[in-house]
Amino acid sequence: MPRFAANLSLLYAHLPFLERIKAAKDDGFEAIECQFPYQENSGAALKEIAESMTQLELPMVLHNLRGGDWSKGDRGLACHPARVDEFKRGIPDAIAHAQHLGVKQLNCLAGILPEGVSFGEAQKTFVENLTYAAEELKKSNIKLLIEPINTFDMPGFFLSSSQHALETIMAVPSNNLHLQFDAYHAHRMGEDILDIEELMPFIEHIQIADHPGRHEPGTGEINYLDFFMLLDDLGYEGWVGCEYKELHQANFLKA
Exposed/middle/buried for residue 13 (C-beta within 10 Å: 0-12, 13-18, 19+): exposed
Q: Are 118 and 126 in contact (CB under 8 A)?
A: no
The pLDDT assigned to 251 comes to 62
For the stretch 133-146, pLDDT in tens is 999 999 999 999 99
Residue 14, in any domain of the structure: no
What region, left, alpha or beta, does residue 28 occupy, with left being phi > 0 and alpha being psi -120 to 50 degrees?
Answer: left
> Is 204 considered catalytic here?
no
Sheet (strand 31-33) strand order: 31-33, 3-7, 239-242, 203-208, 177-182, 143-146, 105-108, 63-64
Handedness of CA 228, 232, 234, 239 (dihedral sign): positive
Q: Which residues of the chain have pLDDT under 70?
A: 249-255
Residue 129, in any domain of the structure: yes
The end-to-end CA distance of the chain, in Å, is: 16
H helices of 45-202, in order, are: 46-56, 84-101, 119-138, 162-171, 183-188
> Is 147 considered catalytic here?
yes
Residue 161, in any domain of the structure: yes
Q: What total of structural domains would you count in the chain?
A: 1
Residue 54, in any domain of the structure: no
The active-site residue, picked from 33, 204, 243, 246, is: 243
The active-site residue, picked from 147, 191, 216, 246, is: 147
Residue 81, in any domain of the structure: yes
Residue 172, in any domain of the structure: yes
pTM of the model: 0.96
Residue 216, in any domain of the structure: yes
* CATH number for position 244: 3.20.20.150
Q: How many CB atoms lie within 10 A of CB 236?
A: 19
Residue 53, in any domain of the structure: no
The 10 Å CB-count burial string (b at 16+, else e) for 54-80 is eeeebbbbbbbbbbbeeeeebbbbbbb
Q: Are 17 and 8 in contact (CB under 8 A)?
A: yes
> What string of H, E and C letters represents the secondary structure of 63-104?
EECCCCCHHHCCCECCCCHHHHHHHHHHHHHHHHHHHHHCCC
The pLDDT assigned to 244 comes to 97
Q: Give the domain extent around 180.
A: 3-7+65-254
